[in-house]
Amino acid sequence: MGTIEVVLGDITAEDVDAIVTAANESLLGGGGVDGAVHRAAGPRLAEAGAKLAPCEPGNAVATPAFDLAPVKYVIHTVGPVWEDGERGEDEILANCYLNSLKLAAELGVGSIAIPAIATGVYGFPTGRAAQVAARAVRSLPVIDRIRLVAFDEETCEALTTAVALGEDHGRSVP
Ligand code: APR
C-alpha cells in the first residue's frame, strides 16, 4: 500500500511522475489548475489534448508533460459540474480519481499529484469533494506515492481531515 499525502501548493511545482489536471471536455486548457498546467507544460499540451478530445466527465486521458519535465505525464480528467448533488456528481468525481489512478498505474507511474478536482469553477462543495477523493484514492492503492495538492487552506484542511478519517476507519477494522 502506498502513501497518501495532502500538501498545500502549486501543483505545477510538484516533483512527481504524473500531474493530474482538472480539464474540460475539449482538453484545450482553461483557467484554474488547468490554466496553470497548460502554461507550465507549453502549447504542445493543448495540441496533444486536442487529438484525444472530447473527454467525457469522469474519464481520464494521458499525454506527455512536455515542458513540465521531469514530470513524465499529464493526466487530463474532467470533473462533474456541481448542480445539486442528485445528478450523480459524487460518482463522476470518484471516477475522475479512479480512472486517473488506473491510467497512471498502466503507465508505470510511481508518484502522482492530484488537485481538488471540480471544487473550483465546477462548484463542487469542498468538504464533500474531499471525502469522495479520499475514499476513491484509498480504494485503489496502485500508486506508491499519491499527493493530493490543495491550493488554499480550506481545501487543505478538508483533504487532511478526509484522509485522516479514512485512516481511522482502516485502523479500526479488526
Ligand atoms: N495548483 C493546484 N491547485 C490549483 C491550482 C494550482 N496551480 N490552481 C487552482 N487550483 C485549485 C483550485 O483552487 C481548486 O481547488 O484546483 C481546484 C480545481 O479548481 P479548477 O481549476 O477551477 O477546476 P474545476 O473546478 O474542476 O473546473 C474545471 O475550469 O479551468 C477550467 O478548463 C477548466 O473548464 C474547466 C474547469
Cβ burial of 150 (10 Å; 0-12, 13-18, 19+) is buried
Q: For residue 166, what pLDDT is reported?
A: 76
Rounded distance from Cα 173 to ligand 1 centre (Å): 35
| Domains along the chain with CATH numbers | 3-172 (3.40.220.10)
Rounded distance from Cα 3 to ligand 1 centre (Å): 24
Q: For residue 173, what pLDDT is reported?
A: 39
Q: For residue 67, what pLDDT is reported?
A: 98
Which of the residues in the chain have pLDDT under 50? 170-174
Mapping DSSP onto H, E and C, the string for 64-124 reads ECHHHCCCCEEEEEECCCCCCCCCCHHHHHHHHHHHHHHHHHHCCCCEEEEECCCCCCCCC
Q: For residue 169, what pLDDT is reported?
A: 58
The residue annotated as part of the active site, out of 15, 34, 84, 90, is 34
Judge whether 152 counts as a catalytic residue: no
pTM for the model = 0.96
Beta carbon of 151 within 6 Å of any ligand 1 atom: yes
Q: For residue 168, what pLDDT is reported?
A: 63
